[in-house]
Amino acid sequence: MNEGGPNVGLVLIGIFVILFGACIALVGGGCTLFLLASAGQGFGADFAMFFLISLVVLGVGCLILWGGFKVVKAGYSSDEPGP
């Protein structure tokens, strides 16, 4: 088995979580930038709602990225031998 090495399962899960978080953060960031670029045309209730949603999506994507990096780090620093 893989005694003393990184936990491959945690590393793979972490990589997939990082990719998912990057996609979500890019969508939220892209929407935020698009809304900021079109903000000169006027502010309304719809603009504020969509801007808030895009900021929340950006924040959730960043939190998912952070969680993915923690999972990968835990996979590499695992002192327990694998099953």
CB 57 within 8 A of CB 38: no
pLDDT for the residue 25 = 94
Integer Cα distance of 20 and 7 in angstroms: 20
Give the model confidence (pLDDT) of 11-41 as tens digits: 899 999 999 999 999 999 998 888 888 877 7
For residue 63, CA distances in Å to 23, 24, 56 come to 12, 10, 10
The answer on pLDDT for 5 being more than 80 is no
Angle at 79 (CA atoms; ends 76, 83), nearest 5 degrees: 95
Domain boundaries along the sequence of the chain: 18-76
Sequence-separated (6 or more) residues with CB below 8 Å from residue 60: 24, 28
Q: Which amino acid is at 65?
A: L
Looking at residues 63-77, what average pLDDT do you find? 90
